[in-house]
């Protein structure tokens, strides 16, 4: 403990923990840490290294925190961010509804007179700056409310999650094989030689090669996916 901070992972994880595996020599090291305040450290229930997650050389670290033990603050609660709107997919009727709703909401705003009458282009008057910030917040809130009311959300459930074109057809099976080999290697006390060690390194390299291939040829896999979907759609219509 130093300056009221604690390296929490040293206190909660076993001494043989590792969070990094070097591809060159398959060396392991513990180079990622949780530095916490005393109150946060005391609220931690447990911590674990997710050794099965092998998407990179680093291993993710998960921690469970009992939030009821933390101090409560009266800061303003942030509203959830709205979903992005793909305007290319918005229908003509939705655009028309959005126009009228936004016009109505914007027409209800009261423009402050202070900064409107100010002639100083480099004004730093705190009251004027506050009026501008408040007006900006009201403008964006009105536009977001109009969009939420007029436009139906089109986002998919898995939008924003880990998604690489070609993953299912090229990478998924190799990822599962590499994960199983890595789990076996860990359960066998991480040997540095032998068949288990060799299988772990080879399956990991195979997985990473496939992943690089997918990222490099993302457009090709997108096109293949669209072609397969179109063909499937034509097959359905033919019945």
What was the pLDDT predicted at 200? 85
Token pair in block for residue 101: 């709703």
Higher pLDDT pick, 52 / 196: 196
- The whole-model pTM stands at 0.38
What was the pLDDT predicted at 137? 80
pLDDT in tens, 160-207: 445 677 788 888 888 889 888 888 887 888 788 889 888 888 888 888
Inter-CA distances, 52 with 108, 177, 193, 207, Å:
55, 11, 20, 13
Most confident of 90-104, 122-136, 211-225: 90-104
DSSP 69-97: GSPP--PPPPPPPPPP--TTS--HHHHHH
Residue 73 has pLDDT above 50, yes or no: no
* Domain range list for the chain: 5-69, 92-150, 167-238
Token pair in block for residue 141: 């809130």
């Amino acid at each position: 403990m130093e300056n009221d901070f604690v390296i929490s992972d040293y206190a909660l994880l076993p001494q043989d923990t590792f969070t990094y595996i070097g591809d060159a020599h398959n060396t392991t090291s513990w180079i990622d840490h949780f530095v916490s305040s005393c109150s946060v450290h005391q609220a931690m229930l447990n911590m674990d290294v997710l050794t099965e997650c092998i998407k990179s050389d680093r291993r993710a670290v998960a921690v469970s925190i009992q939030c009821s033990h933390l101090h409560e603050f009266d800061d303003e609660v942030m509203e959830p961010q709205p979903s992005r709107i793909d305007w290319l997919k918005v229908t003509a009727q939705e655009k028309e509804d959005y126009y009228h709703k936004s016009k109505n909401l914007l027409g209800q705003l009261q423009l402050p007179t202070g900064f409107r009458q100010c002639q100083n282009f480099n004004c730093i008057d705190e009251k004027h700056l506050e009026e501008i910030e408040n007006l900006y917040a009201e403008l964006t809130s009105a536009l977001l409310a109009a969009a939420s009311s007029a436009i139906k959300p089109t986002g998919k459930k898995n939008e924003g999650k880990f998604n690489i074109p070609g993953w299912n057809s090229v990478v998924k099976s190799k990822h599962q094989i590499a994960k199983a080999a890595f789990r076996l290697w860990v359960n066998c006390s991480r040997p540095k030689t032998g068949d288990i060690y060799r299988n772990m390194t080879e399956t990991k390299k195979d997985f990473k090669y496939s992943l690089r291939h997918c990222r490099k040829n993302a457009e090709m896999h997108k096109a293949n996916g669209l072609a397969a979907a179109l063909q499937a759609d034509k097959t359905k219509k033919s019945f």
